């Protein structure tokens, strides 16, 4: 596979449209390495960000992202197109992250927190890339808020964390969340309400009063 020579940044012709997505998937099914490289470049940011927020560990998120795209590569032939490719990949991310977290809990019970928090440097680095991060104080405040939010997110359950990230960070609507998590619409609404309340309480119980 001549994969390293492909142009990973030339994904624009396939981005955004359903027809372009179907064409990209079809090319990947035929074993087109360049098409798969475009698919990875289209979704790797989303996959990595969601993985990192779900697991709270950058290195684990990198490993998980690789596993996700490997599963996409192997199972693309089974993708039926009933949901969007993005929703399908979201589902793989959430399922793999859940499995990985269970694995961690089984093998690292001695740790008080099964998954290490991301370091303050990760948040500061992410805050520095924000478009409104020109002012140093604003950058610091944003990094600190991100650290508090991430700490509170790791206190709530995995299901609540997943649905909050899909809704508030990734911007999925109710139908997409239902398709991603394979739960009914009513369950999406009730679980989202409980997850929001859990996050509010987690922030209030910690240092979240500084928000």
- Can residue 69 be called a binding residue for other proteins (CB under 8 A)? yes
Residue 180 binds other proteins, judged by CB under 8 A: no
Q: Where are the alpha helices (H) located in 56-184, listed in sequence order? A: 58-75, 85-107, 120-128, 136-155, 158-164, 174-181
Take residue 146 and report the two structure tokens written for it: 């991100």
Taking CB under 8 A as the criterion, the residue among 23, 32, 34, 49 binding other proteins is: 49
Question: In this structure, is the dihedral angle defined by the CA atoms of residues 134, 136, 142 and 147, taken in order, positive or negative?
Answer: positive
- The dihedral built from the CA positions of residue 104, 110, 114 and 116, taken in this order, carries a sign that is negative
Candidate segments 21-29, 58-66, 77-85, 91-99, binder of other proteins by CB under 8 A: 58-66
Rounded to a whole number of angstroms, the minimum distance from the CB of residue 89 to other proteins is 13
Specify burial of residue 5 (Cβ count, 10 A radius: 0-12, 13-18, 19+): exposed
> CB of 162 within 8 A of CB of 181?
yes
15 binds other proteins, rule: CB under 8 A: no
Q: Can you give the binding site for other proteins, defined by CB under 8 A?
A: 1, 3-4, 8, 33, 37, 40-41, 44-45, 48-49, 52-53, 58, 61-62, 65-66, 69-70, 73, 118, 122-123, 126-127, 129-130, 133, 142, 145-146, 148-150, 152-153, 164, 168-169, 189, 192-193, 196-197, 199-200, 203-204, 208, 211
């Amino acid at each position: 596979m001549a994969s390293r020579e492909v142009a990973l940044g030339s994904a624009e012709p396939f981005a955004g449209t359903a027809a372009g997505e179907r064409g990209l998937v079809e090319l990947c099914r035929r074993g087109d390495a360049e098409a798969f490289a475009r698919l990875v470049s289209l979704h790797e940011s989303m996959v990595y960000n969601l993985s990192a927020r779900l697991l709270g560990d950058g290195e684990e998120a990198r490993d998980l992202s690789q596993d996700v795209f490997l599963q996409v590569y192997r199972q693309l032939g089974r993708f039926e197109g009933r949901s969007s490719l993005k929703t399908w990949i979201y589902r793989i991310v959430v399922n793999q992250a859940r499995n990985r977290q269970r694995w961690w809990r089984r093998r690292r019970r001695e740790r008080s927190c099964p998954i290490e928090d991301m370091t303050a440097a990760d948040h500061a680095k992410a805050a520095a890339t924000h478009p409104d991060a020109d002012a140093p104080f604003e950058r610091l405040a944003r990094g600190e808020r991100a650290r508090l939010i991430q700490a509170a997110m790791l206190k709530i359950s995995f299901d609540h964390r997943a649905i909050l990230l899909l809704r508030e960070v990734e911007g999925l609507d109710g139908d997409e969340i239902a398709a991603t998590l394979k739960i009914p619409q009513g369950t999406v609404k009730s679980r989202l309400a409980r997850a929001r309340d859990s996050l509010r309480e987690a922030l209030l119980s910690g240092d979240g009063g500084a928000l």
